[in-house]
Structure formats: C-alpha cells, structure tokens
Amino acid sequence: MARVAVVTGGTAGIGLATAHALAERGWSVAVIAREQNRLSSVERALAAYGQPVLAISADVADSKAVDAAAERVERELGPIRAWVNNAMSTVVNPADQITPDEYRRVTETTYLSQVYGTLAALRFMKRRNRGAIIQVSSGLAVRAAPLQAPYCAAKFAVSGFTDALRCELLHDRVNVSLSVIYLPAVNTPQFNWARNRTGHRQYAPDPVFDPRLCAEAIAYAVEHPRREVWVGRSSMMMAAAQALAPALADRKAASMWPAQLSDETIPEMKGNLFEPVPGPVGIDGRFSGRTKASRAEFVTSRTRDLVVGGLAGLALIGLAGTVNAARSARRLPDRT
C-alpha cells in the first residue's frame, strides 16, 4: 500500500508542485482546495503516476470541513502518513487600510487552517505514533514586511503554535514530526490573485525562486523530518538580519514597500480571499523570466545547527586561548 499524504491548497503554485513531487515519489496524494474544476484536473494529472488519488473540495478555514476531509482520506486512501499545510491568502495594502473582515479571513485561511489541519492529522497520527506534519511558512514569519500585515501576523502565529505543540509531543513522547518550511519570494500564481487595493500590480522582489524548489524542500521534510527548512538564500538572510540587527532590518524592510509594487496601474482586485478564482492557473506565476533555476537551494535546521555549533566551538576555543594567554601573562616575572 502506498504511503498517503494530504496537501492543502494543492491545485496551484507550491501546493500543486508538492502534490506532483510526492506522487512522483510513489505517495498516494489527497488534495484539498476550493475550486472544483481545478481539483478534477489535478486528480487526473496525479493519477498518471500510478497511485490512488483523492481530490476534496473544502474550505480549510472551516474546521469541520477539514475534519471531514481527513476522515474521508483515511477511509478511501488509507492511513495518513504526511499532512502538508500549504493553503494561504493575503491582502496587499497598508495595515490601516485593511478591514477587520479581511484581517479575520487571512487569519482563518493562513493561520487557523494550519491549526485545523494539524489537529485533524494528529487525531489519526497519535494513535499510530507515526506521521509527519509540514507547516508551509515564509521568511515573512521571521522578518515582517510592509503591505502584508495580516499575512505576516498569521505566519508568526503558525510558528508559535507549532513550537508549543512540538514541546507537548516531546513531553508525551509522540513520534510525530513537525517541520516548518520558510520560503522566499516564489514564482506562484498568488501574485496574480491576491486581494489588492494599492492601485498597482503586486510584484515579486528579487531573488524569485521556482515553486518546484519549495516542493523539493517540503518532500524532503516529509521523508527526512527536520525541525525547520530554509528555502533560498533570502529567507536565511532575513532571519539573520532580524536576529542580529532588528532596527536595521526594519529600515531595510521599509525600503521594500515600492519593490513589492510594479509601475503598472490596476483597478482594485478582489482576489481569492473569500471565493476561489476560477480557471486553470498551474504551478508558475508571471515571473518565470526572473526565476532562479536552482532546485537544491535549501538548508535544514540540522545543517544550520552544525554550522552554528561549529562557529560557537571555534569562538569558545578562541576565548579559552585568550583567557589562558592572559593567565600566562599574569604569571610572568616582572623583569623591569
């Protein structure tokens, strides 16, 4: 029997690339999304890999719908081994010009959807003491940027929820892994359908990475659990800047306001915040000409910890040498 994975938001962009990456590796994949026509198309495409596929129409902001989807996956495909929380939405606008309803909806689709998916997966995984849950996050969960306050806040919340839950699983000795994938700017259709009232089309600032690189990182975390995976050099740089010089990072982020908007003027875009955008969209967005070709540019927390540990060890050795030299100098006789 094939291993079973669930991917939310799996009919476009990173979610669709992830569904293909897992199916190619022999996983049986269930995709959860809203737009029925895209779901049917994805179901046919994934079936070509030779494993059972399931496409479920559900709004991941509805906890009961997510629970029902998980039960259906278990019933029709088998035990869930991996759950990828990928669905999200955003609003591009200054924070004080975003409505309370829009804040609530982004929170529901980007943060609470990951809570609901995680809880649904845990109900089955805990009893078997096995499984992998992947939270698809962003460099904006560590270093927030202007014009996307609801999205940044939701991704920060995902980190807090996941860290708290990880501690509980460790306490209870539950063998279910939790991985957070921090993403850079990625060439996905989200830039074509995000709600936007700025009057300018949203733009992906360089460097822009391939969704398939993100899918590779997610699939790697599914099969080789890691606490964190950082995709693209820019996500690591954002984290380093925030840790080492947060005030400077604030000023740098402030300068990114115009970099997120093109010169092209557009009318207000309703986007996919409350309703799905119809029609085929695929994996890639409109920035393919600027997309980095690398398919292997991601770093796991294990690699990071080894590097940091090595640097810390060298620092301690250097400090010890300095202390010993100082002690030796104090022992030298006074020859004056």
Predicted confidence (pLDDT) at residue 33 exceeds the cutoff of 90? yes
Coil, helix or strand at residue 243: helix
Helix spans in the chain (H): 13-24, 36-47, 63-76, 100-106, 113-128, 149-172, 190-193, 211-223, 233-244, 246-254, 301-331
Q: Answer with the residue of higher pLDDT: 290 or 331.
A: 290
Looking up tokens 């198309």, which residue turns up? Answer: 41
Say what angle helices 13-24 and 211-223 make with each other, to 10 degrees.
50
Q: Which of 56-60, 179-183, 308-312, 327-331 shows the lowest mean pLDDT across its residues?
A: 308-312
Cβ contacts of 264 within 8 Å, gap of 6 or more:
200, 201
Say what angle helices 246-254 and 233-244 make with each other, to 10 degrees.
130
Label residue 202 by pLDDT band (50, 70, 90).
very high
The answer to whether residue 111 is catalytic is: no
- In this prediction, residue 44 carries a pLDDT of 97
Provide mean pLDDT across the span 130-141: 97
- In this prediction, residue 170 carries a pLDDT of 97
- Mean pLDDT, the chain, rounded, equals 90
Predicted confidence (pLDDT) at residue 330 exceeds the cutoff of 60? no
Fold of 4-296: Rossmann fold (3.40.50)
Provide mean pLDDT across the span 154-175: 98
Coil, helix or strand at residue 38: helix
The single residue of 49, 111, 116, 151 carrying the catalytic annotation is 151
pLDDT per residue as tens digits for the range 233-288: 888 888 898 999 999 999 999 999 999 999 999 999 999 999 998 888 899 999 99
Residue 181, CA distances (Å) to 100, 128, 244 in order: 28, 24, 21
Is the sign of the CA dihedral 257, 209, 278, 102 positive or negative? negative
Provide mean pLDDT across the span 182-198: 94
User: What does the angle CA 116 – CA 117 – CA 121 come to, to the nearest 5 degrees?
Assistant: 115
Please report the DSSP string for 59-119 in residue order: -TT-HHHHHHHHHHHHHHT-SEEEEEE-----EES-GGGS-HHHHHHHIIIIIIHHHHHHH
Q: Which of 85-89, 113-117, 294-298, 319-323 shows the lowest mean pLDDT across its residues?
A: 319-323
Provide mean pLDDT across the span 24-39: 97
Predicted confidence (pLDDT) at residue 214 exceeds the cutoff of 80? yes
Peptide bond into 280 cis (omega under 30): no
Which token pair is 275? 């309703």
